[in-house]
Structure 1
Amino acid sequence: MSVRPTTDQLHAPAIHVRGLEKSYKELRVLRGVDFEVARGSIFALLGSNGAGKTTVVRILATLLRADTGTARVNGFDVATQAAGVRESISLTGQFAAVDEILTGRENLVLVARLRHLDDPGTVADDLLRRFSLTEAGARRVATYSGGMRRRLDIAMSLIGKPPVIFLDEPTAGLDPEARVEVWQAVKGLAEGGTTVLLTTQYLDEAEQLADRIAILHQGRIVVDGTLAELKELLPPAKVEYVEKQPTLEDVFFAVVGDASTGANRE
């Protein structure tokens, strides 16, 4: 039987973390992590490799137990109400978990059937359309580009309409065009009411996507706020005339075209 959050739980933040600590023998990975994520928002957990981002996600997804501290997801305690947490979330790891032998549509239908949903074909077709994969739906995933695989992976994670989704380094290893494709997909999640916790080591990714950004450093959250609030931590900018030269990114997209027009490229 499904576990449902109470009315009070539904009015609480989608994610509430207090005092999380985790060590592996002498290595202290988390040293008291605190943050909250509002419902329907994108929250970026920013940090370098080894900062503890994936450890936080694994604890919130009930895959790992914290040494101390508390965490609630969709109103459920990750330690004592794991079943409720698992029904509320979807986790997309650092590498796309898709079956390359199957077509994109077959991957989606398979997951829909595993979740015992009515009319898996309609569910699959709706998600293919939502993620601009309709034309590629009948092709084997082995023929997909990196960005297409990642979008399919995210689409699969949305089957069953989980209110909270964890995206762990969603654009790691992707080319610039594919990164933009994934960014567009992530923005669409929040616009549809899904709460997104995004871990990344890319500063521009957090800047492009997040409503709030927390920087995790040496096992602690050292700053947490909106992009505007974080910029206020630095001295006011001086107004100077600077001749702006195009960036390499500007040149790249000028040459190859807008990534959004090539969503179903080979």
Structure 2
Amino acid sequence: TINWFHIHEVNKTANEEQRPTITIWSNTNLHDYDNTLERLLSLPHPVAMIGIHLCKQLSPSFCGLVNGLGPQKCLYACLAPCCLPRAVTTQKRNNDPNKLFTVFIPVEESAEERRRRRDYLQRRRGGSCFFCSDDNHRLRDCPALKDLPDNIRAVKLQESRQQSETSAAPCWNCLQYGHYKANCPTTTDTNRSKPPSQQPRAMNLDVTNVLKSPKPFLAYCQILAAQGFQNREVKVIETDLENKVKMHQEGNWNGERKSIYLITV
């Protein structure tokens, strides 16, 4: 558990000193892209995103959130990666010269695309009953149907299923409304058994040759700056901060970490 005592203390004098109060969000995980993005988008004002010393995949996750917010919502972003992601560090154990190593970074989606993925995920979790809309049970377990005569229950079940095809949730395969996966026009013999994509639209950054660079950490930061932020100009700034801890000596993979910042301009 992180102790946020110092934040609570400075908030006590925020109004008196005419400073903004600092709000702490509990149960927030940068890897939980959808929930974190929706929470940020729900704020009534633009935001500035600052990520300091984010480890491994947290830095690409930060880039994804900045992309998802878009330039109108996120006016400024500053990122200081802490260390190389696993997609880079595992390369030293790779014996396949043709293997490609990539980092997954979400990109901006429309509100409709986000809604369809949200509806899809709700359906995967079970969703609500198509007959009575109760979230606590599925259609087949609906108590309101059990008391009906068999012939009427069969009709109601069919009507509810037909209604669900057009309004409840998108197809598991293409995320379009109006049909089930079994009737999906985009389903072929090659993709019929594959699970549908429920991930946000994303780019895959090629980090295959990062460790071959004389300065791997700088090379990684330059890739993030050049390709990781969608439709933004990003500068890589070397602050020349010295890290004299022995494990971060010159020549170490992460020898430059915590001194390089990526900022949008």
TM-score class normalised by the smaller sequence: under 0.3
Question: TM-score with structure 1 length normalisation?
Answer: 0.25
Structure with more of its chain in strand, by fraction:
1
TM-score with structure 2 setting the length: 0.26
